[in-house]
Structure 1
Amino acid sequence: MYAVRQHVFGPPETLVYEEVETPSPGPGEVRLAVTAAGVHLMDTVLRAGRDLGMALPGLPMTPGREAAGVVDAVGAGVDAGWLGARVVAYLGPERNGGYATHAVASAEALHRVPDGVDDATAVAMIGTGRTAVGVLEQAALSAGDVVVVTAAAGGMGTLLVQAARQAGARVIGLAGGRRKTEAVLEQGADGAVDYTPAGWERQLGEALRGAASTVVLDGVGGRLGRSAAESLGPGGRHLYYGWASDEGHFTTFTEAELEQYRITSHLVVGPSLFALPGGIRRLEETALDRAARGLFRPVVQSFPLAHAAQAHAALETRATMGKVVLRP
């Protein structure tokens, strides 16, 4: 089989397309003939070997934690009824292996892909979609909300814009460049602001029509996330879940600042996400169901598996829109 392999930590060019031995599933596992593999910002962080206080994977390795495909082999103790099934799975933070023509997954991680959902959409739901569901459940949006979404043209941002509009909220999306702001409007946002020019905050104020926002959904962090959060009025809610900014950190407020601005600020991933009723698997099932019912319509940008390095470079330089997927 063919796989994308990483032998050293470093830039995107460290990802190489190689022929390797096809794995066999162990007890409780299945093997997938992969049809789509998700690329996540965390994949680029791990590839670079950045120290985030977590253990880095051992090398050499095949990256990729999200995969969809057809089960072509089962290990001991696994129901043979899985053979031939279209499935999607989050392989796990330590397993990886999705950037390949074949990947091994725990049978317990499998979800059958619903009818009418393509494999790229399924991959988008198993990672990005499940996080979006968790963020939305904690945000509890309503028709009375005015919502600002950072990185609104990204994989998460696109889904959050769609869901906020479905809740009846007024939505302003922040994105980098005209092409992306146009895409945000195509997803149903009431307004879109390009954050790349100096003074973009004034444009956000105009898009808000002089009013304050009530909710900021922030996946960017840094100075941009802070500026977005400063659009909140008293009683506003700042929910943060990412740090895609160049500064590489969440937007946070001190207790004194929260009291001064009369807002709340909560990290809605990590322990907050895992503690939601039903756990992560229920979030995955909900995301897949939303896709099957047309409530989540992910924008997907695909790259050939052999071009994984280009996919990473494009993601890191913010040249992508929506969910990035590799196709063998």
Structure 2
Amino acid sequence: MYAVRLHAFGPPENLRYEEVADPVPGPGQVRIAVGAAGVHLVDTMLRAGKYGGPMALPDLPTVPGREVAGTVDALGPGADPQWLGRRVVTHLGTVPGGYAGLAVADTARLHAVPDGLDLPAAVAMIGTGRTTMGVLRLSALGPDDTAVVLAAAGGIGTLLVQYAVRLGASVVGAAGGPGKAERVRALGADLAVDYREPDWTGTVRRALGAERPATVVFDAVGGEPAREAVRLLAPGGRHLVYGWAAGGPAEFGAGELDALGVESRTLVGPALGKLTGSPRALRELEAEALAAAADGSLVPAVQTYPLADAAAAHRALESRGTMGKVVLVT
């Protein structure tokens, strides 16, 4: 098979598209002929050797990627034969191997891809979608809320905007660039702004007025944009952090959030599963996300690249030049 392998930590150019041996499924596993593989910002950090999160850097060489969708083409010992020939999607957890023509996965992690849902959309929902559902569950978002969504043109951001609009909440979508802001406006946000513009929060305040202050900030950006967004919140507001594309989370001084009357929660990695209530929470969130995509209530935005162009996908993601979930297709 062909796969994308990393032989040394460093720039995107270190990702090599090359021929490698076909993987063999072990006990309780299946092999998937991959049609779509998700690309995550964490993948770029691991590739660079600069990831400081809960996962260890992989042994090299490695095949990156932890989200795949495709068709089961082989069974390992003891695997349920019902899976053979079925379209499936899975999150591989901390085990890499997704940027490949073939990948192995435990049957306990598999979901059948709903009829009518294509593989890139399915792979978007298995990771990005599950995070969205978890953040929404913990946000207690209601129709009376005014939500500010940072990175609103991203994979999670577009889903949050769609959900909030359908719910009847007031929605401010903040994105990095005029083209992205236009995409957010098309999703139905009440206001779409470019957070790279000076005084973007002043634009938001003037649009909302004193009678409709922000009550929740969904934050995937961090840094100064997040600090500015938090200052839009009324006392009692919620700041929910699920990423920091700007390079690091927003930093607040001692007692600063208390003085603002704001609650801030970080929902990253294992914390998301723990905070949603049970060891099975992540799998439940995956199922919810796939069901929402299947019935059309949430439509993932997907930007695809050929598997062989994984380096280009990483460059675009790191430069924040993408919209929606980045997916490699075979």
Verify same fold: TM over 0.5.
yes
Letter aligned with residue 258 of structure 1:
L
Which is worse superposed, 294-303 or 263-272? 263-272
Residues 272, 167 of structure 1: CA spacing in aligned structure 2 closer, same or farther, 3 A cutoff? farther
Q: How far apart are the structure 2 equivalents of 1:321 and 1:173?
A: 13
The within-5 A match list for 1:1-328 is 1-53=1-53, 54-93=55-94, 95-210=95-210, 211-245=212-246, 248-254=247-253, 256-275=255-274, 276-277=276-277, 278-328=280-330
Q: What is the Cα deviation at residue 51 of structure 1?
A: 4.1
Tell me the percent identity. Answer: 57
Q: What is the Cα deviation at residue 204 of structure 1?
A: 2.3
Letter aligned with residue 59 of structure 1:
L
Which is worse superposed, 222-231 or 190-199? 190-199
Structure 1 residue ranges without an equivalent (≥5): none
Letter aligned with residue 20 of structure 1:
V
In the comparison of the two structures, how many residue pairs are matched?
A: 325
Q: What is the Cα deviation at residue 229 of structure 1?
A: 0.8
Q: Is the 8 A contact 2:177 2:195 kept in 1?
A: yes
Q: Is the 8 A contact 1:146 1:213 kept in 2?
A: yes
Residues 236, 295 of structure 1: CA spacing in aligned structure 2 closer, same or farther, 3 A cutoff? same
Q: What is the Cα deviation at residue 252 of structure 1?
A: 4.7
Q: What is the Cα deviation at residue 206 of structure 1?
A: 2.8
Q: What is the Cα deviation at residue 271 of structure 1?
A: 4.5
Letter aligned with residue 6 of structure 1:
L
Q: How far apart are the structure 2 equivalents of 1:253 and 1:286?
A: 34
Q: Partner of 1:99: helix, strand, or coil?
A: coil
Q: How far apart are the structure 1 equivalents of 2:182 and 2:209?
A: 19
Q: What is the Cα deviation at residue 83 of structure 1?
A: 0.7
Letter aligned with residue 257 of structure 2:
L
Q: Is the 8 A contact 2:42 2:51 kept in 1?
A: no
Which is worse superposed, 172-181 or 272-281? 272-281
Which is worse superposed, 23-32 or 52-61? 52-61
Q: What is the Cα deviation at residue 249 of structure 1?
A: 1.7
Q: What TM-score, normalized to structure 1? A: 0.96
Q: How far apart are the structure 2 equivalents of 1:226 and 1:64?
A: 31
Q: How far apart are the structure 2 equivalents of 1:270 and 1:100?
A: 24
- Give a deviation string over 1:155-177, Cα, whole Å, max 9, x none: 01000111111221000011111
- Give a deviation string over 1:3-25, Cα, whole Å, max 9, x none: 00100000110001001111111
Q: What is the Cα deviation at residue 293 of structure 1?
A: 1.3
Q: How far apart are the structure 1 equivalents of 2:113 and 2:251?
A: 38
Letter aligned with residue 126 of structure 1:
I
Q: What is the Cα deviation at residue 185 of structure 1?
A: 1.0
Q: What is the Cα deviation at residue 209 of structure 1?
A: 3.4
Q: How far apart are the structure 1 equivalents of 2:225 and 2:56?
A: 29
Q: How far apart are the structure 1 equivalents of 2:257 and 2:99?
A: 43
Q: What is the Cα deviation at residue 99 of structure 1?
A: 0.6
